[in-house]
Amino acid sequence: QVQLVESGGGLVQAGDSLRLSCAASGSTISRSAMGWFRQAPGKEREFVASISWSGSNVHYADSMKGRFTISRDNAKNTAYLQMNSLKPEDTAVYYCAVNLYGSLRDRTSEYGYWGQGTQVTVSS
């Protein structure tokens, strides 16, 4: 069974960048579509981005297009989320997960093997 561990979060200022990592262990994710989600205090978990197993197809939430980039390195069994031009409203816990159906859809219910999350805080 795959275990996912997110890292790379932290406290940054508006306009800064962060690169989050999602390292998998226990099983390979090289044949799995992956997704990033986030959850701010008092809000539901929301979709950020997803990537196909090969990395050739990606999908973003509209509000993240142009600022966030999802990628993966199957040799390292790791997925990434590059976040640029961060805004205070990006403050949340960021999670990665495996899409159980191999799709890039943004439905939380289609994802499993969630990591514990990494906190991103953007100050104004």
Of all residues in the chain, what percent carry a pLDDT higher than 70? 100
Pairwise CA distance, residues 87 & 65, whole Å: 14
In the structure, what pLDDT confidence band is assigned to residue 28 with cuts at 50, 70 and 90?
A: confident
Please provide the average confidence, as pLDDT, over all residues in the chain: 95
Pairwise CA distance, residues 29 & 27, whole Å: 7
Compute the average pLDDT of residues 12-21: 98
> What would the pLDDT profile of 62-119 be if each residue is shown by its tens digit?
989 899 999 999 999 999 999 999 999 999 999 999 998 888 899 999 999 999 999 9
Closest CA to 91 of 36, 30, 40, 21: 40
